[in-house]
Amino acid sequence: MKALRSIITTLVLAIAFTSCATRTAVAVRPAKTVVVTKVHNPRVVVHNNSRYYISKGVWYKKSNGRYITIKAPVGAAVTKLPRGYKVVKVRGVRYYKSGGVYYKRSGKRYIVVNV
């Protein structure tokens, strides 16, 4: 009876350790560049004679009928901030942050800036 108990205990421990050892951690990171064929209600922004598109705070550039995500071009001006923006102060200056992009108010427009 003791032998059977020790065999069962050994098996249970072996299964427990092997199941713990086979677990893997998966890190999910956003893609650096995303290409989509359709953008929902994009706003068009022209900056330095280039057309950019903004949808839900994400900046796109159109190429061959597809939209490619890009970093917001510094100096580009928008009339309306994306939903969910936050007001932040950096060194006493008020900025508006949305999706990692900082905007600074200039009159009735908001300019993309580096902070």
Q: Could you tell me if residue 21 is left (phi over 0), alpha (psi between -120 and 50 degrees) or otherwise beta?
A: alpha
How high is the pLDDT of residue 69? 92
Are 42 and 55 in contact by the 8 Å Cβ rule? The answer is yes
Local confidence band at 33 (pLDDT 50, 70, 90 cut-offs): confident
Cα 55 to chain centroid, rounded: 13
For residues 67 and 105, what is the distance between their CA atoms, to the nearest angstrom? 27
Window from 16-30, 60-74, 77-91 with minimum mean pLDDT: 16-30
The whole-model pTM stands at: 0.68
Are 66 and 36 in contact by the 8 Å Cβ rule? The answer is yes
Are 109 and 79 in contact by the 8 Å Cβ rule? The answer is yes
Q: Return the half-sphere exposure (C-beta side, CA atoms, 13 A cut-off) of residue 80.
A: 10
